[in-house]
Amino acid sequence: MKSIRSRHPEWIKVRLSGTHPTKKILREHGVSTVCEEARCPNRGECFSGSTATFMILGDRCTRNCSFCSVNSAAPYPVDHDEPKRVADAARALGLRFVVVTSVTRDDLPDGGAAHFAATVRELKKSGEAIKIEVLTPDFKGNLESLKAVLDSCPDVFNHNLETVPRLYEDVRQKADYLTSLNVIKSAKIIRPGILTKSGIMLGLGEKKEEIISVMDDLRNADCDFLTIGQYLRPQRENTPVVEYITPELFGEYRDIALVKGFKAVASSPLTRSSMHAGEMFMSRKGGY
């Protein structure tokens, strides 16, 4: 895989995070966000708008995907008070749409599914007005774990494919494309009517026909929402960028995906899986 060594192109302008009241509230409640742990380029914008994606189950991942900056190490024990702290923080931030994700916890028998469910249930105590999206790991394909999460009744189920099948060996070394695809497909079978979502990164060396094939796979799995964004190398140790995709090509992929039947598609260089998730949920049809 060849890489490029250059500054970001002019169409990728990252807003610095700075200091915002959001950070203070998160620290006060002792909760983590994937915005910070994964060095998301949009954290400045999201924090300024008092939004965040909560990351539960600690900040240590049992896998070591080469694109991700989250720490890979032996995880800490499950913090059973965390679901309530997340709900309290969401209320303090005044959130009406909450995204909950986690590190991968292959060390736990259920992959952390019960903890996801507990967090959703705590959030729902805030009232029916709050909407919740869960962005889960693959639970090693365990459908009982998946069912445990879905039984807590989140509004959107999200699991990212991340890249095309050919690149899994380089990018998601401990994951399996078909397992991830089956998780998305099974969510609709277990809980008919739930909205499902997935996302992929571009710029890792994938080809156009491979991207379109992933779209077809997701539509065959009855996936509703799709996010497509530019991979940006978070740290020197991570996989290098192979190519910067132009905004025009992102727009072309958005149009192709909408024609294929996705209810909503977010496709741009700085699109990330949970960015503007509430807007996507409300739109149901259209491009970003």
Residue 15 located in a structural domain: no
Residue 33 located in a structural domain: yes
pLDDT digits 0-9 by tens, 57-109: 998 899 988 888 777 788 999 999 999 999 999 998 888 889 999 999 999 99
Residue 12 located in a structural domain: no
Structural domain range at position 229? 21-287
Cβ-based neighbour number of residue 86 at 10 Å: 25
**Coil/strand/helix, residue 101:** strand
Specify the CATH number for the domain of residue 276: 3.20.20.70
pTM beyond 0.85, yes or no: yes
Residue 265 located in a structural domain: yes
| pLDDT band (50, 70, 90) for residue 156 | very high
Task: Domain count for the chain, please give it.
Answer: 1
DSSP 164-225: -GGGHHHH-TT--HHHHHHHHHHHHHHSTT-EEEEEEEESSS--HHHHHHHHHHHHHTT--E
Residue 35 located in a structural domain: yes
Task: Write down the pLDDT at residue 38.
Answer: 45
The torsion of the CA quartet 260, 231, 163, 166, rounded to 10 degrees, works out to: 120
Residue 145 located in a structural domain: yes
pLDDT digits 0-9 by tens, 23-62: 677 777 777 655 554 455 555 555 444 456 899 999 889 9
Residue 8 located in a structural domain: no
> Are residues 48 and 20 in contact, defined by beta-carbon separation less than 8 angstroms?
yes
Residue 14 located in a structural domain: no
